[in-house]
């Protein structure tokens, strides 16, 4: 699909993925009808979560993000000078089906815990794991350190999550 560049000339829309789209055409009446039928079918199989379930997921992510920030601050206080600890931060990002908005009811949430460079994998599987273990909302807690993609798996307030870890080459806030 091309757009005008402001000078009356057409310019090609850049491809942001790893491959070109199959089609750049807008949906026609048949596409819209089939989409509506698919949505009805998915509703009949009770695959969409309720508003309450959606809000519960959002609240769990908010609480875990706060836990990540507190954990990064505590690790920083043990590794950095006090004046540097004021600007540290960590963040929990979602990805996968939840992030794309195509998850089904009861599906797990894939997350990535991003921390500054002084917080390492041993901290993640050590002190962060211990913080999760101490949280009364956490059940079914498992650290899978030697997997191809190391992960902490858990249920938080009944919602399943996978938490992966990455650290950035930053000294301070994420």
pLDDT in tens, 98-142: 999 999 999 999 999 999 999 999 999 999 999 999 999 999 999
Q: What is the extent of the structural domain holding 153?
A: 51-167
Q: Rounded to an integer, what distance in angstroms lies between the CA atom of residue 162 and that of residue 120?
A: 18
Query: Which pLDDT score, from 0 to 100, does residue 11 have?
Result: 63
Q: Is residue 99 part of a domain?
A: yes
Phi-psi region of 58 (alpha: psi -120 to 50; beta: other; left: phi over 0): alpha
Residue 10 reports pLDDT greater than 80: no
Number of domains in the chain: 2
Q: Which residue has the tokens 């908010």?
A: 62
Residue 171 reports pLDDT greater than 70: no
Query: Given pLDDT bands bounded at 50, 70 and 90, which one contains residue 173?
Result: low
- Kindly state whether residues 143 and 72 are assigned to the same domain: yes
- Kindly state whether residues 57 and 128 are assigned to the same domain: yes
């Amino acid at each position: 699909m091309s757009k005008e560049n402001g000078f009356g000339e057409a310019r090609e829309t850049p491809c942001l993925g790893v491959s070109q789209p199959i089609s750049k055409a807008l949906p026609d009446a048949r596409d819209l009808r089939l989409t509506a039928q698919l949505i009805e079918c998915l509703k009949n199989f009770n695959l969409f979560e309720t508003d309450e379930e959606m809000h519960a997921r959002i609240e769990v992510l908010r609480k875990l993000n706060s836990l990540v920030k507190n954990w990064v601050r505590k690790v920083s206080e043990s590794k950095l000078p006090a004046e540097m600890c004021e600007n540290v931060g960590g963040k929990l990002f979602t990805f996968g089906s939840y992030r794309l908005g195509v998850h089904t009811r009861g599906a797990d949430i894939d997350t990535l815990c991003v921390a500054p460079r002084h917080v390492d994998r041993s901290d993640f599987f050590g002190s962060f794991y211990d913080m999760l273990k101490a949280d009364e909302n956490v059940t079914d807690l498992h650290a899978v350190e030697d997997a191809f993609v190391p992960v902490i798996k858990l249920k938080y307030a009944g919602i399943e999550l996978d938490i992966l870890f990455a650290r950035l080459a930053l000294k301070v806030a994420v």
